[in-house]
Amino acid sequence: MKILITGGAGFIGSHVVRLFVNKYPNYQIVNLDKLTYAGNLANLKDIEDKPNYTFVKGDIVDASFINSLFKNHRFNAVLHLAAESHVDRSITNPLEFVYTNVIGTVNLLNAAKELFKEDSSQFVKFYHVSTDEVYGSLGETGLFTETTAYDPHSPYSASKASSDHFVRAYYDTYKLPCVISNCSNNYGPYHFPEKLIPLCINNIKNSKPLPIYGKGENVRDWLFVEDHARAIDVIFHKAELGTTYNIGGHNEWTNIDVIRLLCDMMDEKLGREKGTNQKLITFVTDRAGHDLRYAIDSTKLQNELGWKPSLQFEEGLSKTVDWYLKNDEWLNNVTSGAYAHYYEKQYSDSNK
Ligand code: NAD
Ligand code: DAU
């Protein structure tokens, strides 16, 4: 089985690549990534020399590049994670999200469709990794299920919703064997420090202000990233074609409560007096169109495929903070931008 994983140098993608490369030595894993600001090959240092792993630098928006990559490698399956993923960036530059998340996804679907058309027994799965943000925002109660109507509010979630629709359309129209999952907020090692949790870990470490949008009352449902990767593994291998699974931690927190917990935890870990870090909390202008609450019902995944989250939030957050405190070099390279040129000599577009 030769599997193309897109976006494997990003946060979640790197955990998925690591899991597949280590757990399935008989699979050939090809990681395709453009290495945008969010892609960092240092995330995969521990597996880069494994015989069943190959990295290819390239852009999913470039259709002719994608078509020749598929022709050369004749993949048996695709696990698609590459995306522009940060809501705030989508507010300032929506088109970048349309290119990568919508057009990039359709380019991959087209290339997969050609392989499937040539030999439907050889191309077996197109797995599209998506987000709970496509469902919009909840009020005080209720949970997103797989049948909740799509109602995206940000350019990011609108682009992900659009890509989900295309994947379903290719299943219905061309019978392309597709599966989709929609997951809640992830946290854990290798998370780019523009997102709430790693941003605040880094700022606490450096005694800088912690920017909380609005009143900090927005609710997110946090899941440890390795639990998401395990869910993707289970869904990839067991899900019926044409289906969707929601993935989430049943772990809702207001932003302000997450940051207070993080502050107290890091007071202890950094040997600071209790209450020191909470003084860094700074309420700032709210995000435009800020969704109030996300919460996932993952009953279908738990009942049908037997997955469940493995970590309590406090335990996962503590592990995450320890990882960031231990991996100073990774964090410094990412915040300084030094990582961007790290592997340039080793890899180039020519290895496609
Ligand atoms: P990320 O931003 O950390 O990583 C995205 C990766 O995609 C990067 O390595 C980047 O270089 C690559 N990439 C971007 N544009 C590309 C292009 N045009 N061609 C090739 N590669 C490109 O994102 P993440 O947080 O790891 O999210 C991965 C996927 O999971 C996304 O599809 C996202 O929508 C989805 N998701 C994320 C979360 C979350 O909490 N982070 C939750 C649910 C779903
Ligand atoms: O729900 C899944 C989604 O989770 C993924 O699809 C996205 O790719 C991922 O980025 C994440 O989106 P969010 O917008 O929820 O994550 P973010 O870390 O940006 O913000 C989490 C919450 O914290 C949100 O309510 C906005 C708030 N926030 C964020 C930042 C960066 C702040 O209050 N201050 C900040 O500085």
Q: From the CB of 100, is ligand 1 less than 6 Å away?
A: yes
What's the confidence (pLDDT) of residue 213? 98
Residues in Cβ contact with 340 at an 8 Å cutoff, skipping those fewer than 6 apart: 35, 37
Among the options 135, 156, 170, 294, which is catalytic?
156
Residue 322 neighbours by CB under 8 Å, 6+ apart:
269
pLDDT band at 350 (very low <50, low <70, confident <90, very high): very low
pLDDT category at 348 given cuts 50, 70, 90 is very low
Q: Check 33, 48, 84, 132 and give the catalytic one.
A: 132
pLDDT above 70 covers a percentage of the chain that reads 96
The reported pLDDT for the residue numbered 351 is: 44
347 pLDDT higher than 60:
no
**What residues contact 207, with CB distance under 8 A and at least 6 apart?**
280
Q: Tens digit of pLDDT for each residue in 272-286?
A: 999 999 999 999 999
| pLDDT-derived band at 339, boundaries 50, 70, 90 | confident
Does residue 156 carry a catalytic annotation? yes
Where does the chain show beta strands of DSSP type E? Answer: 2-6, 28-33, 53-57, 77-80, 125-131, 178-183, 186-187, 210-213, 219-221, 223-224, 244-247, 252-254, 281-284
Number of Cβ within 10 Å of residue 148's Cβ equals 18
Check pLDDT > 90 for residue 340.
no
Say what the pLDDT of residue 103 is.
98
* Ligand 1 neighbourhood includes 11 CB (under 6 angstroms): yes
Protein residue whose Cα sits closest to atom 10 of ligand 1: 39
Whole-angstrom Cα distance, residue 292 to residue 210? 20
Task: Name the residue of 183, 199, 212, 213 to mutate for ligand 2: max ligand atoms within 8 A of Cβ.
Answer: 213
| Known active-site residue 84 | no
Q: How far is CA 115 from CA 54, 87, 119, 128, 258, in A?
A: 20, 33, 6, 17, 46
Q: Reduced to 3 DSSP states, what percent helix, strand and coil does the chain have, rounded to the nearest 5?
A: 45, 15, 35
Q: How many residues does the chain have?
A: 352
Q: Is the pLDDT of residue 259 over 90?
A: yes
The b/e string for 222-243 (b: 16+ C-beta within 10 A; e otherwise) is: bbbbbbbbbbbbbbbeebeeee
Ligand 1: residue whose CA is nearest its atom 35:
130
- What is the sign of the dihedral through the CA atoms of 121, 18, 162 and 98? negative
Q: Which amino acid does the sequence have at 214? A: G
If you average pLDDT over every residue of the chain, what do you get? 96
Domain spans of the chain, in order of start: 2-341
The contacts of residue 285 (CB under 8 Å, 6+ apart) are 213, 214
Q: What is each CA distance from 264 to 185, 188, 200, 314, 320, in whole angstroms?
A: 22, 18, 12, 11, 14
Residue of 186, 212, 251, 255 to mutate, ligand 2, most atoms within 8 A of C-beta? 255
CATH 3.40.50.10800 fits 2-341, yes or no: no
**Residue-level pLDDT at 352:** 39
What are the pLDDT digits (tens) for 91-146? 999 999 999 999 999 999 999 999 999 999 999 999 999 999 999 999 999 999 99
- Does pLDDT of 63 surpass 70? yes
Q: pTM for the whole thing?
A: 0.97
Tens digit of pLDDT for each residue in 137-185? Answer: 999 999 999 999 999 999 999 999 999 999 999 999 999 999 999 999 9
Q: Confirm whether 245 is a catalytic residue.
A: no
Distance of CA 224 to the CA centre of its chain: 11
- Which of 229, 220, 223, 204 lies closest to 315 in space, CA to CA? 223
Task: Note whether 183 and 134 are within 8 A (CB).
Answer: no
239 is written with which tokens? 């899900």
Catalytically annotated residue among 133, 221, 226, 227: 133
